[in-house]
Amino acid sequence: MMKSGYTLTGLLVVLLTLGVIGCTDKTGDNPTRAEVGEQGLVTNQSNHTFSIFFSTAKDPGFKPIRVYLPPGYDLSGGGIRYPSLYLLPPFRSDELYYFEHGLAAVADRLIAEGKIEPMIIVTLDGRSHLGGSFYTNSACQGNHFTALFTDTSFQEYAAPGTESLYPDGGVLMYEAEATITRIDDIFRTFDDPSRRAIGGVGMGGYGAFRAVLQTDLFGSVSAVNAPLDFDGNGSGGFLTLLDEVFINDFGAIDTAEGDLEASLILSASAAFTPHIAAFDIDSLYQDVFGQRTFTFSVDDTLTDDFRSFKAEYNIHLPYDSAGARHDYIWDLWMENNIANLYAVADPAIAADFMTMNKLLVSSSDAVFHYGEQMTAFTGFLGSNSMTYQTQTFNGTDRLSATANHYLYDLLEDILIFHSNNLNPTN
């Protein structure tokens, strides 16, 4: 009886113990909804609008800029300095482009997670009246590059017959601070290339590389699906795009805004080969401001007469009416190719470019055949033993692999890359 009692007691203890063990709460370590951390401040255009001065009056004089200030930025005027990152938008995009794709939220999260250094991020409007400035100085579209990166003064002649209205006999002097200088004046940034970076998507990536080859302002550069090698190793890139745009009839090019590829070619022509000669020439595309009147003709005698001239909206296309490449115009385009800009760069800048950290992000579905250009440019960097790193991204069956579609995800890689390269010099 005693033995049965012990047996019974033991069995009951075992059963109860097992039951208790089985009822423990294991949800304590469950992941939970992320708390909204400290957020950065985004300044809008009403507070910080900077003018980009044009030598012509074709575009509005004021181009808005948007600035992300990291959490903890002291608006009262004191506080520490921050490194800065400039992000240039692609074709037909403005200062909202990166923010629409989640720049502020991504930056806030990465700073909170300790994955990037707190930084000031500047975005701006890269458009022109034809869609995109390509961040160049152009008699047709205005001096976007100078306005952004170069403190400058320049002169302009008054229209004939109006000289008496101006001082100095009709010679107009303009002085303008570069956008980058204005940013450094207003915000607590470092005026130090090692603490300043630049990147861009598409046309913005081209602008970023152009900036690092024509200034000594930046310490790292990135580009996503950008036109960095115009002929894509000789027969691709823009050449492929030009074939597609002019495939049917050179004279019947669809220049409506809905034709994205044609608009890009017109913008690039305005950026790289504006008409600056003082005589009527063929191979000319005339766009009267506010109208769409186009005529074409062919001229093989165009020379590079850069006599000062207040140009109209005339640009030269790199193809003729027979659909053949216009070599002279195309050569002018190629002078703007990144490889050529490197070849003619200041030796010190060229030397820095060799070792500067560069991030190239590309995909198979890049628009405008930029994927071919990225591949070719990677080859150029590799064959010249330059420092760079590459990254690819894929799409899904629902969303093709374009920079626009996946910028939200790419921003994390871009910000981390630049943060890792924003190294203090002291």
**Interface region with another protein, contact rule CB under 8 A, candidates 11-19, 238-246, 290-298, 308-316:** 11-19
Cβ distance to another protein smaller for residue 18 or 57? 18
Buried b (16+ CB within 10 A) or exposed e, 4-32: eeeeeeeeeeeeeeeeeeeeeeeeeeeee
Residues contacting another protein: total by CB under 8 A: 41
Residue 19 makes contact with another protein by CB under 8 A: yes
**Least distance between another protein and beta carbon 202 (Å):** 12
Cβ distance to another protein smaller for residue 25 or 249? 25
Residue 11 makes contact with another protein by CB under 8 A: yes
Residue 222 makes contact with another protein by CB under 8 A: no
Token pair 């691709």 is found at 236
351 contact partners, CB below 8 Å, separation of at least 6:
none
**Least distance between another protein and beta carbon 406 (Å):** 5
**Least distance between another protein and beta carbon 397 (Å):** 8
**How are beta strands 120-124 and 357-362 bridged, if at all?**
unpaired
- Alpha-carbon distance of 312 to 136, in angstroms, equals 17
**Least distance between another protein and beta carbon 282 (Å):** 35
DSSP 8-state secondary structure symbol assigned to residue 95: T
Buried b (16+ CB within 10 A) or exposed e, 381-415: beeeeeebeeeebeeeeeebbbbbbbbeebbbebb
Please, is 221 exposed, middle or buried when counting C-beta atoms within 10 Å of its C-beta (0-12, 13-18, 19+)? buried
Q: Give the three-class secondary structure for 198.
A: strand
Binding mask 377-406 for another protein (x = CB under 8 A): ----------------xxxx-xx--x-xxx
In this structure, the chain runs to a length of 426
Cβ distance to another protein smaller for residue 125 or 231? 125
Cβ distance to another protein smaller for residue 37 or 424? 37
Residue 348 makes contact with another protein by CB under 8 A: no
Cβ distance to another protein smaller for residue 32 or 153? 32
Residue 102 makes contact with another protein by CB under 8 A: yes
Nearest to residue 51, comparing CAs of 59, 39, 42? Answer: 59
Residue 41 makes contact with another protein by CB under 8 A: no
Residue 196 makes contact with another protein by CB under 8 A: no
278 contact partners, CB below 8 Å, separation of at least 6:
305, 307, 309
Residue 118 makes contact with another protein by CB under 8 A: no
**Least distance between another protein and beta carbon 3 (Å):** 9
Supply 87's token pair: 């992000």
Footprint of another protein (CB under 8 A): 4, 7-8, 11-12, 14-15, 18-19, 21-27, 29-34, 36, 96, 99-102, 393-396, 398-399, 402, 404-409
